[in-house]
Every structure is written in structure tokens, then in C-alpha cells.
Chains A and B, each alone.
Chain A
Amino acid sequence: EVQLVESGGGLAQPGGSLRLSCAASGFIFSNYWMHWVRQAPGQGLVWVSRINADGRSTSYADSVKGRFTISRDNAKNTLYLQMNSLRAEDTAVYYCVRESGWPKNYFDYWGQGTLVTVSS
């Protein structure tokens, strides 16, 4: 059974940092591209970042570029999101998501989410 379990969320001050982790199991983690998607309270889904299978290629939403860093450790089956210079508008539930892969690239498995609150 595919499982994605996020951790690391919590309360951070504006300008502060948090690192989210996503522990993957039930599939060959190193074969899949992975993403982070966030959802602000009462709002819709917003794509944040993605990383390819070997970790060498990454992409970011403009809103987080230069502040967030996605990475992965395929030996530990874990995805990360380092979040720096946090802003109030980064407050959201952050989901770890598996991409199905070529050719249609849909998001087939989602974690349960971890809440990040940025407030003084």
C-alpha cells in the first residue's frame, strides 16, 4: 500500500524557517517524481514545487522561488521541503504528492497534509 506521511509542520514566525518531511512507503520511491502542493485555510489547491526521480531537477512556483528548497533522499525514501523567509501568506496545509509519471503526469497519491502557520 502506497503511503505518504508528512511531518514538520507547526508555528513559525514571519522570516523564520521550517523543514517539512514526507516519508514514503509501499512503492519504489526512487522511480517517481514528487511534488508539494499547498492549501491555505478555506482556499483552493496550489502547486508549490516538484523534484524529479534522481533529485537533479527541481521547479518552483514563483511565489516561493528563492525561499523554498525541495530535495529528496532516495536511500531514506524521504522528500523534504526547506522553507525559509516564511511569510504569513505561506500559512497552509502542505501536501506531499506522488506524480504518476509519463505520459499523463497526474497526482495519484497524496499524503494527509501538515499544517504550517506563520504568525507572530
Chain B
Amino acid sequence: DIQMTQSPSSLSASVGDRVTITCRARQSIGSYLNWYQQKPGKAPKLLIYAASSLQSGVPTRFSGSGTGTDFTLSISSLQPEDFATYYCQQSYTTPQTFGQGTKVEIK
């Protein structure tokens, strides 16, 4: 299985801050990297697919980058509705493994 490691596990930020979350794969996965947002009690929601493609309807303050083993999710100006947990996932091979999550909290 391909292990996915996110950092940090949690962070505190203020509205308007720029936030960056990183995800590292144990082996190269090309651009088969996706990002999801999950709010408490809700299902995950796709934000970014194929490392850098913005899912339809997702605000443009979200962006993704990277290839191979190192990836980032950035939020350019944090909004109140962005406080949530974010997960990366590799879809390069089965099992499609997830990172452990990054919880973004209000400072």
C-alpha cells in the first residue's frame, strides 16, 4: 500500500490568512493526487483532483500543486466556511489510500 503523510496534522489560522497543507507519498504517484474537505458530521467533498485541477463549483482560493511524491493544497485567503479537515488521497493504485487529515481551526 502507498502511505500518504500529511503535515501538519492541525493548524490554527485567522480569516484572511494564506494556508498551505502538504502531502507526501511514499512512492511516486505522478499526478494521481486528490484533495477533499470534510466538515463535522458531513461527507467529504472533492476540492482538487489530478493534483491541480479545481473541481467545478469550488472557490478559486483553493489551489493544488505538485507531482511525484510531494504535493500541496493552498487556500489563498481563509474564509470562515473553510474551517474543516482536509484529506489527500492517491488514486494511482488500489488501495486508494488517504492521508491522516489536517484539521484547520480558528485562531
Contact = CB atoms under 8 A, between A and B. Distances in A.
B100 A44 contact: yes
Interface residues of B, number: 25
A105 B95 contact: no
B96 interface: yes
Which of A46, A61, A95, A104 counts the most B-chain CB atoms under 10 A from its CB?
Answer: A104
Contact of A107 (B34, B42, B95, B97): B34
A95 B45 CA distance: 12
A112 B45 CA distance: 11
Interface in B25-72: 31-32, 34, 36, 38, 42-46, 49-50, 53, 55
Interface residues of A, number: 19
A106 B38 CA distance: 16
Given A44-B87, A45-B87, A108-B55, A50 B46 contact: no
A106 B95 contact: no
B91 A105 contact: yes
B94 interface: yes
A27 interface: no
Given A44-B87, A110-B45, A112-B43, A105 B101 contact: no
Interface string A44-68: 1111001000000001010000000
